[in-house]
Amino acid sequence: MGNELKIKFTDHIGFHMLLAATGGLMDAYSYVDRGNVFATGQTGNFVLAAIRFLTKDYKGMGQACVPIGAFWLGVFLARHIYYKIYKEKHTHWISGILFLEIVVLFLVGFVPNTLPHLFANTAVSFAAAVQFCTFRNFGGNASYAPVFCTGNMRSCAEMYYEGFVRKDKECRIRAYHYTGILSAFFVGALMGGGLSLWFGEKAIWLACVLLTVSWITVDIEKKGQKADHNSHR
Q: Given pLDDT bands bounded at 50, 70 and 90, which one contains residue 60?
A: confident
Q: What is the CATH number of the domain that holds 193?
A: 1.20.1250
| 216 lies in some domain | yes
Q: Indicate whether 232 belongs to any domain.
A: no
Q: Which domain holds residue 102?
A: 14-222
Contacts of 60 by beta carbon, 8 Å cutoff, 6+ apart:
48, 52
Query: Is 147:128 a contact under the CB 8 Å cutoff?
Result: yes
Please, are residues 107 and 126 in contact by the beta-carbon 8 Å criterion? no
Residue 129 within a domain: yes
pLDDT average, residue stretch 215-228: 75
Distance CA 32, CA 189 (A): 10
Residue 130 forms part of a structural domain: yes
Checking if the pLDDT of 227 tops 70, the result is no
Is 229 within the bounds of a domain? Answer: no
* 54-79 average pLDDT score: 91
| In-domain check, residue 5 | no
Q: What does the alpha-carbon distance between residue 154 and residue 65 come to, in Å, rounded to a whole number? A: 28
Higher pLDDT, 173 or 8: 173
Q: Considering its fold, how many domains does the chain have in total?
A: 1
23 within some domain? yes
Answer yes or no: is 178 within a domain. Answer: yes
Q: How many helices (H) and strands (E) does the chain have?
A: 9, 2
Least confident of 5-19, 24-38, 55-69, 183-197: 5-19
